[in-house]
Amino acid sequence: MKKLFFLTLLAIFSFNLTSNAKENFFKEAKKNFDEDKIEESKFLFQRNITFNPKDSKSYLYLAKIYNYEENEKEELKNLKTTLLLDPKNEEALYMLIEIEIEKSNFSEVKVLTKKFEDICSSYCNKTKSIKERLENIEANNESEQ
């Protein structure tokens, strides 16, 4: 009976530690990110994903880190995962639009911009900028032909 009680207590204690650790990884990673401690924050965001694989915010911050490191492949992977988990994430969608503009993938930019317009609430001011950039690029392409 004592053994069962001890094991139950141990299980409850370890569960509480694990759930607190999940939260602390993201908070600590975000703090490091804000302080420009890129490698430390990258490690902690990855660790947070290990414990909480559906945390879209960690994927978004990893995408920002990979953008800083100029690792477009990993940035794209993390942005797409962010949008898979949180399809209405404006910041991730905006970052993806930026990448597609750089790639000159105008048809994809138009589709993503439409999605962006449908969901925007805090990044709505970026829509005009995206459309202007797209129009300028298309005008330059037409003048070159």
pLDDT in tens, 45-72: 999 999 999 999 999 999 999 999 999 9
Q: Is the pLDDT of residue 17 over 50?
A: no
Query: Which of the four pLDDT bands, split at 50, 70 and 90, describes residue 73?
Result: very high
Q: pTM, whole model, 2 decimals? A: 0.76
Q: Is the pLDDT of residue 127 over 60?
A: yes
The CA distances from residue 47 to 7, 17, 44, 53, 76, in Å, are 27, 15, 5, 10, 19
State the average pLDDT for the chain.
84
For residue 9, the model assigns a pLDDT of 46
How far apart are alpha carbons 41 and 32 in whole angstroms?
Answer: 5
The hierarchical CATH code for the domain 24-86 is 1.25.40.10
How far apart are alpha carbons 75 and 64 in whole angstroms?
Answer: 7
Q: Residue 82 in contact with residue 113, Cβ under 8 Å?
A: no
Q: Is the pLDDT of residue 109 over 70?
A: yes
Q: Residue 103 in contact with residue 76, Cβ under 8 Å?
A: no
How far apart are alpha carbons 80 and 100 in whole angstroms?
Answer: 13
Kindly report, residue by residue over 19-54, the tens digit of the pLDDT.
Answer: 555 567 999 999 999 999 999 999 999 999 999 999
